[in-house]
Structure 1
Amino acid sequence: MMYTVDEIFSSFFEEKKSTFLSFLSPIDDMESLHVTLKNEHPKAAHIVWAKRYFNEFRQIVENNSDDGEPKGTSGPPVLNVMRGYELVEVGLLIVRYFGGIKLGTGGLVRAYGRSAKEVIAGASLVPFVFKELLTCKTIYSLVPRFEHYVMHHDLQVKERLFESDGVVWRFELSEAQKQAFLHFALAFERDGFSLL
């Protein structure tokens, strides 16, 4: 089973006076987090990162950066830890402050790997489920019924647009949620429900 995270988690680790600040984030937050970390830690020696996410064909895409550390000593070990935990749709960034003692290539590999493991161990991992967007519209008299369904089935409403003739709903649903929702909603087709 694959896992992901819904929020950003962080941890701190020290090795021979070098400090490693690790951040595990949802893939959608990774770029802004990277910018924030660069601004907040201008004196950091390196900000190493790795990420795993799905492309539009539901294939896993992986990427990483050593950010100036010796090639292969930081980004790839972090990515390997992420693979081991079967993490997807996440990014992992590690801010390193150099403490004056060189760790050597083996020491760097171990330190970055341990940093990645520690932030993952402290994170609340959630099972990853593919979700797709579904857009539909209801007339206003149906809104209370649909709000009741959404609340009792814990559906994720991405957006609601109130128009003159009804409400446009955008949901992010798993396959099982989609089938159950359509079973409920299509019964109201004659009463003012439509898929968009």
Structure 2
Amino acid sequence: MFIINTLVTESYLVKGSKFICYLEPIYENNPSIRQNELKQEHFKAVHVVYALRVLNEFNQIVENQSDDKEPKGTSGQSALNALRGANLINCACYIVRYFGGTLLGSGGLVRAYSTSVNQAIIKAQNENLLQSYIKRQNYSLYTNYNLFNKISYILDKNNIIYDKEFSDLIKVKMSLSNEEMIILSNELKDMQIQIIKD
């Protein structure tokens, strides 16, 4: 499975119609928010179709799609199939369509929407923007102020991204893969610091 961490856009023209694909990590649980943003930005466009695939907390892939008034099954499903074909998760694609005056028919719409998404995926691959998905879980640790510099050195050395909150103790919040969890546990063992799963 693969993820994308940044927005990729690509345009596709067919018979006067312009399809602009926005392939991006999904930040909102409600894709209609982003869809409405794009409708406002592209107020002359006739459709903003979307498809998304998200891995939930039970390790299940949740999928969603919208034809946005295109004929049923011609657009959102085609976009979703392109995401499936590339084995992408935790991402969405939004395709803005400007009508060019020529009806494409059901087959033409399926090809146009899938081509639009596939071209954005190819662009992301060519620019090395797709990464293998690594399952991560949220963890925290608490430390005294006098140990924090040593702990932050270990985290930085292992390229672990973290947030900190200051109170009587310092709370360090991290998102770790299994491999990172093992490495960090071994390095903190002598300090008797406990890592707690959130």
Same fold, judged at TM 0.5 (above)? yes
Partner of 2:179: 176
Which of 164, 167, 170 pairs up with 2:170? 167
* Corresponding position: 1:23 with 2:22: yes
Preserved contact between residue 136 and residue 170 of structure 1 (Cα < 8 Å): yes
* Corresponding position: 1:9 with 2:8: yes
Give SS of 2:134's match: coil
Preserved contact between residue 138 and residue 194 of structure 1 (Cα < 8 Å): no
Deviation string, structure 1 residues 17-69 (Cα, Å, up to 9, x no partner) = 11111011112258454332122012211010000111221111111111100
Preserved contact between residue 16 and residue 99 of structure 2 (Cα < 8 Å): yes
Instruction: State the Cα distance separating 1:149 from its structure 2 match.
Output: 1.3
Preserved contact between residue 185 and residue 195 of structure 2 (Cα < 8 Å): no
Partner of 2:88: 87
- Measure, in 1, the Cα distance between the counterparts of 2:171 and 2:118: 43
Give SS of 2:9's match: strand
Partner of 1:116: 117
Structure 1: 5+ residue runs without aligned partners? none
- Measure, in 2, the Cα distance between the counterparts of 1:14 and 1:63: 25
Superposition CA RMSD, Å:
1.4
Deviation string, structure 1 residues 129-164 (Cα, Å, up to 9, x no partner) = 11100011111111111111121111121x21011x
Preserved contact between residue 67 and residue 74 of structure 2 (Cα < 8 Å): yes
- Measure, in 1, the Cα distance between the counterparts of 2:56 and 2:88: 15
Partner of 1:59: 60
Report the TM-score when normalising by structure 1: 0.92
Deviation string, structure 1 residues 159-191 (Cα, Å, up to 9, x no partner) = 21011x2210110111111111111123212xx
- Measure, in 1, the Cα distance between the counterparts of 2:169 and 2:2: 37
Give SS of 1:70's match: coil
Runs of at least 4 residues off by over 6 Å: none
Residue identity in the other structure for 1:26:
P
Residue identity in the other structure for 2:69:
G
Partner of 2:188: 185
Deviation string, structure 1 residues 56-108 (Cα, Å, up to 9, x no partner) = 21111111111100000001111111111100111111000101111110000
Aligned residues: 190
Give SS of 2:27's match: helix
Report the TM-score when normalising by structure 2: 0.91
* Corresponding position: 1:127 with 2:127: no
